[in-house]
Amino acid sequence: MDLDLGRDEMVVIGASLGSLRWFDQELPAGSVVVVEEPDVIRRRGLERLTAELPLVSRLVPAAYQTGLDVDALLAREPGLASARLVVPGLEYAVGAAARLAERLGLPGAGVPAADVFTDKHRMRLLADAAGLANPAYELVDDPARAAEFARCHGDRCVLKPTRRSGSLGVQLIADPAEIAAAWATSATPQATVEAAAGLPTEVLVEELLAGSEHSVELLVTDGEAIFANVTDKRIVGGRFPVESGHTVPSALPEVEHRALRDAAVRLAEAAGFRSGILHSEWILVDGVPTLVECAARMPGDMITALVSIAYECGFIEAYLRVLRGERPALPARPAGAAAVEFLVAPPGRVTAVDGVKAALRVPGVLDVQVEVAVGDMVPELLSSAQRSGHLLAWGADATGAESAARKAADQIHITVS
């Protein structure tokens, strides 16, 4: 990647170590300033971790997750004014990145769009106003009201916090009687290393929909979508709808591809989204794209890698060029397909990990990562952060890529006691 970046010319708000390690292989030394919450820096040991990455020139502590004071930050760190692009590294940094970019006159999501897409209730209201399909929903402040909602919608519902990411706190409820005991998981989600202490949230209760699940990745420049991809999504069973895999491009017929792309573009336009990646999630209900949620940042779960492989392009590089004010050219159609399958180990202490070499021998497999080792404790799967690894594969088409990833995952055996 040749972005011609000088020292301190890229600001990343919110330390995604996975993204920073990838950037470290591609960007010049000293080109990135990382801004992070002081308590997050301390809890994650980020001073040590970022010191190991040559591209990071310095780590700047600043409170931003509950509102960034841009003028105070620039008064304390005047060197940030020379930045040529601002990138949100995490969901919790989307609003702050939009505000800093706007203050510096740089491309970004735009503050109104950033604020909408970091609050799931405001996003629902926007979709309603734009005429997009939503599930029935209600903002609730107690479990009794959520249970009443569920009883009006087939005794089932979804509970979700309005301001969390990675499926944290999202629950599929099959009986209103379960809501009282489940309430705290959504209303006060467990602490994560990325979220600042005391980050507020409200609770949405939503109609539980039945249909296939997909996402749309838009690359937008000055309000115009210049690239669109549709991804197939797989979910683990049970109460917590954590993603178990993704395939790019979707195996859907072209008419449904078009419907999903059109819905995503309408959502972006309704929000006034300016520049960057918009990653929206949808359920197809009787062929109609119905909105699940949307993030104004790079998608997680290796979707950027899948897009890069399937379209034979540098998707992250294109994103950074958009944030530099450029208009990169991307392929209109994929050249092949790619899939990721996540490893989900049962809760317990790991006693053995077998099958890695066998997984690597599966035709089409590109990478196998097991993120637990003997002696580790595997917690209950409540969010995407608690998965145990992944397998990445390619294929001539979506069916081939997904089949290779699943076959490789079947070779891995994580034994717990």
Q: What pLDDT shows up at residue 382?
A: 86
Residue 377: pLDDT over 90 = yes
Residue limits of CATH 3.40.50 in the chain: 10-106
With a pLDDT cut of 70, the percent of the chain lying above it is 100
Homologous superfamily of domain range 212-416: ATP-grasp fold, B domain (3.30.470.20)
Between 254-258, 361-365, 367-371, 384-388, the lowest mean confidence (pLDDT) is in: 384-388
pLDDT digits (tens, 9 = 90+) for 183-193: 999 998 877 77
Residue limits of CATH 3.30.470.20 in the chain: 212-416
Q: Looking at residues 169-193, what average pLDDT do you find?
A: 91
Grade residue 400 by pLDDT with cuts at 50, 70 and 90: very high
Residue 44: pLDDT over 80 = yes
Respond yes or no on whether the N-terminal peptide bond of residue 249 is cis (omega within 30° of 0): yes
Q: What pLDDT shows up at residue 162?
A: 94
In terms of pTM, does the model score above 0.75?
yes
Q: What pLDDT shows up at residue 3?
A: 86
Report, at the CATH architecture level, how domain 10-106 is classified: 3-Layer(aba) Sandwich (3.40)
Q: What pLDDT shows up at residue 199?
A: 82
Residue limits of CATH 3.30.1490.20 in the chain: 136-206
With a pLDDT cut of 90, the percent of the chain lying above it is 90
Average pLDDT, the chain: 95
Q: What pLDDT shows up at residue 2?
A: 77
Topology at the third CATH level for domain 136-206:
Dna Ligase; domain 1 (3.30.1490)
